[in-house]
Amino acid sequence: MAVQHGIWKIGEKPKAVQKAALVNEKELEELIAQDITILNEEWLLIGRQVLTDYGKYIDLLAIDREGALIIIELKKHKTSREVVAQVIDYASWVETLSSDKISSIYADFVKKYGDSSLSFDTVFKAKFGDSLVEEELNKKHQMVVVASELDASTERIISYLNDKTLVPINAVFFSVFQDGESRYLSRAWMIDPEETEEKATNSGQKGDWNGEFYCSFGAGEGGRSWDDALKYGFISAGAGHWYSKTLSMLKPGDRVWVNIPKTGYVGVATVTGKRIIADEFITSDMSLVGTYRLEQEHGEEKAEFFVPVEWLCSVKSTEQAVNEIGLFGNQNTVARPRSSKWEHTVARLKQIWAV
């Protein structure tokens, strides 16, 4: 189904804003290169017109906070299935890139377009607040086709690759509108970007999902408290949409295994309610040890979100957390892993906790 864009100016009567045309494909590339948040606020641009080993150029290359690479290919007007084949071809090359090669791509990019005095690590930490873990770099990738429109067959191919083969490919449509001297850019994704992110998380993982959810609970000094989560029955995340959005994957009745990063697994619980913002979850009779951001103080984007749970088995102290070699770990707050390591983790925890 073709995506149609429209903008109306509000007045005594709604007035449609006239659609305009981009000068050329380079203009759109320039706009995205100037501000990658046009596509995604959680991406950092690290390459432009990246030369592959077989003489082709990737329009734009970005990275997210997990170290996943995003291949962005621009095509003006109607695109064909050829662009899908092209971006997949690029992905097959990107998948082979070492950390040294990725750093070299970034160095070439900033030498031409940015501040070459800033290292890849420095810029990554400034953007995401955390240092890049080299072992996580390029463990997964996404592909994005940028177009004004796609033909029906290409849309079907992209949908099929996402739904049936777990290939993390998406398309984003742009339109330009003009009102007097002002020009506006409109964007619409073909597939919810969060779905593509999950495909990237599971790409390369064999097998079916076992129905068990994973949760990364970022407890620590000056922030969330495991004692609070245990006492009041919840898991939570916040300080940014990227952290809190995956809590929406959980529904009442789901089972979730909770891991505190760098500490270990602390419990397994049944979800009893949907995601709720801190201001509505926290009540005056709670004696909380940790600190949690409220919407009224920090806004919805940075606020803490909670999911109520009933603990089936849990450790009383984080010192009793289960932390063994070979157990699954992931930076996503909530995930549906498909790897054999996740199968092993659930089986091992069931054995230890007699669940």
Averaged over 313-340, what is the pLDDT?
91
The closest alpha carbon to 76, from 5, 188, 177, 173, belongs to 173
Last residue of a domain, one of 179, 202, 225: 202
Averaged over 301-306, what is the pLDDT?
94
pLDDT at 243 exceeding the cut of 90? no
Distance CA(19)–CA(328), nearest Å, equals: 50
pLDDT at 333 exceeding the cut of 60? yes
Q: Per-residue pLDDT tens for 160-201?
A: 888 777 788 998 888 888 888 888 888 888 888 777 676 565
* Cα–Cα distances in angstroms (integers) from residue 351 to residues 31, 320, 329, in the given order: 54, 15, 18
Band the pLDDT of 315: cuts 50, 70, 90. very high
Averaged over 311-315, what is the pLDDT?
96
The pLDDT value recorded for residue 113 is 86
Structural domain contains residue 1: no
Read off the CATH number of the domain in which 244 is found. Answer: 3.10.590
The pLDDT value recorded for residue 350 is 96
- Asked whether residue 325 falls in the same domain as residue 293, the answer is yes
The pLDDT value recorded for residue 128 is 84
- Asked whether residue 154 falls in the same domain as residue 248, the answer is no
**How many domains are there within the chain?**
2
pLDDT at 281 exceeding the cut of 90? yes
Percent of the chain past pLDDT 70, that is, above it, reads 94
Q: Per-residue pLDDT tens for 100-117?
A: 899 999 999 999 987 777
Averaged over 77-99, what is the pLDDT?
83
Averaged over 4-21, what is the pLDDT?
84
Distance CA(284)–CA(147), nearest Å, equals: 51
Least confident piece of the model among 34-38, 271-275, 336-340 = 336-340
Band the pLDDT of 27: cuts 50, 70, 90. confident
Half-sphere exposure of 79 (CA within 13 A, CB side): 28
- Helix (DSSP H) and strand (DSSP E) numbers for the chain: 11, 16
pLDDT at 63 exceeding the cut of 90? yes
The pLDDT value recorded for residue 2 is 56
- Asked whether residue 234 falls in the same domain as residue 285, the answer is yes
Find the domain containing 346 and state its range: 213-353
Which residue reads 């777990």 in tokens?
166
Which stretch of DSSP H or E encloses residue 143?
Answer: strand 141-150
Distance CA(105)–CA(137), nearest Å, equals: 14
- Asked whether residue 176 falls in the same domain as residue 263, the answer is no
Band the pLDDT of 85: cuts 50, 70, 90. confident
* Cα–Cα distances in angstroms (integers) from residue 331 to residues 61, 63, 130, 179, 216, in the given order: 22, 15, 12, 43, 7
Q: Specify whether the CB–CB gap between 158 and 191 falls below 8 A.
A: yes
**For helices 152-165 and 81-94, angle between their N-to-C axes, nearest 10 degrees:** 40
Percent of the chain past pLDDT 90, that is, above it, reads 50
- Asked whether residue 26 falls in the same domain as residue 164, the answer is yes
Structural domain contains residue 2: no
Structural domain contains residue 207: no
Structural domain contains residue 208: no
Contacts 24+ apart (CB under 8 A), 21-24: 21/176, 22/76, 22/148, 22/174, 22/176, 24/76
Band the pLDDT of 314: cuts 50, 70, 90. very high
Ranges of H-type helices in the chain? 25-34, 81-94, 99-113, 120-128, 152-165, 193-202, 226-232, 241-244, 278-281, 295-302, 340-353
Last residue of a domain, one of 163, 180, 202: 202
pLDDT at 209 exceeding the cut of 80? yes
pLDDT at 66 exceeding the cut of 90? no
- Whole-number mean pLDDT of the chain? 88
Structural domain contains residue 181: yes
Q: Specify whether the CB–CB gap between 196 and 205 falls below 8 A.
A: no
Structural domain contains residue 332: yes
Structural domain contains residue 249: yes
Averaged over 44-65, what is the pLDDT?
93
- Asked whether residue 190 falls in the same domain as residue 298, the answer is no
Half-sphere exposure of 122 (CA within 13 A, CB side): 7
The pLDDT value recorded for residue 241 is 84
- Asked whether residue 176 falls in the same domain as residue 237, the answer is no
The pLDDT value recorded for residue 183 is 87
The pLDDT value recorded for residue 205 is 52
Averaged over 298-310, what is the pLDDT?
94
The pLDDT value recorded for residue 202 is 54
Read off the CATH number of the domain in which 152 is found. Answer: 3.40.1350.10
* Phi/psi of residue 289, nearest 5 degrees: -85, -40
* Phi/psi of residue 148, nearest 5 degrees: -80, -30
Direct distance between the N- and C-terminal alpha carbons of the chain, in angstroms, rounded to an integer? 46
Distance CA(347)–CA(355), nearest Å, equals: 10
What does the angle CA 353 – CA 351 – CA 315 come to, to the nearest 5 degrees? 20
Least confident piece of the model among 203-212, 224-233, 272-281 = 203-212
> Exposure string (b/e) for 88-126, b if CB count within 10 Å is 16 or more?
eebbeebeebeeeebbebbebbbeeeeeeeeebeebbee
The pLDDT value recorded for residue 282 is 94
Half-sphere exposure of 102 (CA within 13 A, CB side): 26
Q: Per-residue pLDDT tens for 247-269?
A: 999 999 999 999 999 999 999 99
- Asked whether residue 100 falls in the same domain as residue 219, the answer is no
Contacts (Cβ under 8 Å, ≥6 apart) of 337: 201, 202, 205, 209, 214, 328, 330
Other beta carbons less than 10 A from residue 45's beta carbon: 25
DSSP letter at 252 equals T
Distance CA(25)–CA(100), nearest Å, equals: 31
Structural domain contains residue 67: yes
Last residue of a domain, one of 136, 171, 202: 202
